[in-house]
Structure 1
């Protein structure tokens, strides 16, 4: 029996794309960016876990005496006043985006281990070969759905008026684009691995039937 079909080989290739794009989208701060041509823009860019401001006035200070400049981790404990505006930086939809995209990343990382086993160690003669392939497919399906929810929520609410300053001059950045590609790649990869599991199941059944026929013919000749 051949180790992998075309669906399995394509699934590995698409999985590499999913792993790279999801990891980069998770860690890079360009989900929402300001138009670089606008000189007076207060927002530079922001990601899931960090924000970069050119000059953001403290939204809780009505006298505008404190401004935040530069890039910071959203849970930065060292910058004075930054913890007080965390509710402004992380509204409900942003927390939902973080949560679902983190689930997506976790699913991809778990799948990485299983894909390596499928690619390097496992063969059709092993009892759990099909179980591993099917597990990869379902885990990536859950990861893809979680990633899709994250990017849909952010696309719907991340660039609306009333949150980040200079709303008309902001746009969804390349990190968001990678998140979209990663979620789609996870769903495609899931379909390919579930197809591979179906193919391998049929191969195994045909192999068992051919063995049974061979044994019956051998017994009849004996």
Structure 2
């Protein structure tokens, strides 16, 4: 029995693409970017955890004397007044996006360990080989669905007129594109691993049937 079929090999390859895309989307800050040609734009770019502004006025400062410039971690404790606008920076949809995409990342990292076991160590002769592949498939499916929820929520609310300024001059950046690719690739990889699980299960059943038939034939001849 082969260790992996075509579905399993393709699943590993697609998983690598999903892993790279999800990690890049999670760690970079170009989910929403401003048109660089607009000189008066207040937003530069933002990600899940970092916001970069050209000159964002403090929404809590009526005199408009405080502005935020440059890139900052969303939970930056050192910039005066930054914690006061966190409610503006993290509306409910953004928290939901962070939550679901974090689930996607965690699922992909757990799958990485299992895929390494599948690729380097496990074989069809081992007892839990089919179970391992099935678990990988379902974890990746959960990751893909979580990532899809995150990108759909962000796509629906991330560039609306009541959040970041100059929304008509903003667009979804390459980090958001990586999130879309990563989510889709997780679902594709899960399909391939679940297909591999089904194929390996069928092979194991056929192998057991052939062994049983061989034993019966040998006993009959004896």
Report the counterpart of residue 87 of structure 2 in structure 1. Answer: 87
Distance in 1, Cα, partners of 2:211 & 2:111: 33
Once the two structures are superposed, residues 78-123 of structure 1 have per-residue CA deviations (whole angstroms, 9 ceiling, x without a partner) of 0000000000000000000000000000000000000000000000
Once the two structures are superposed, residues 66-85 of structure 1 have per-residue CA deviations (whole angstroms, 9 ceiling, x without a partner) of 00000000000000000000
Report the counterpart of residue 154 of structure 1 in structure 2. Answer: 154
C-alpha displacement at 1:218, in angstroms?
1.5
Residue 55 of structure 1 aligns to a residue whose secondary structure is strand
CA RMSD of aligned residues (A): 0.5
TM-score by length of 2: 0.99
Distance in 2, Cα, partners of 1:60 & 1:128: 58
In the TM superposition, 1:187-198 aligns within 5 A as: 187-198=187-198
In the TM superposition, 1:24-173 aligns within 5 A as: 24-173=24-173
C-alpha displacement at 1:154, in angstroms?
0.1
C-alpha displacement at 1:133, in angstroms?
0.2
1:202 and 2:207 equivalent?
no
Distance in 2, Cα, partners of 1:196 & 1:152: 29
In the TM superposition, 1:4-43 aligns within 5 A as: 4-43=4-43
Once the two structures are superposed, residues 16-70 of structure 1 have per-residue CA deviations (whole angstroms, 9 ceiling, x without a partner) of 0000000000000000000011111110000000000011000111110100000
Report the counterpart of residue 176 of structure 1 in structure 2. Answer: 176
Distance in 2, Cα, partners of 1:48 & 1:182: 15
Distance in 1, Cα, partners of 2:76 & 2:84: 11
Distance in 2, Cα, partners of 1:168 & 1:217: 77
Residue 37 of structure 1 aligns to a residue whose secondary structure is coil
C-alpha displacement at 1:221, in angstroms?
2.0
Residue 70 of structure 1 aligns to a residue whose secondary structure is strand
Residue 94 of structure 1 aligns to a residue whose secondary structure is helix
Residue 151 of structure 2 aligns to a residue whose secondary structure is helix
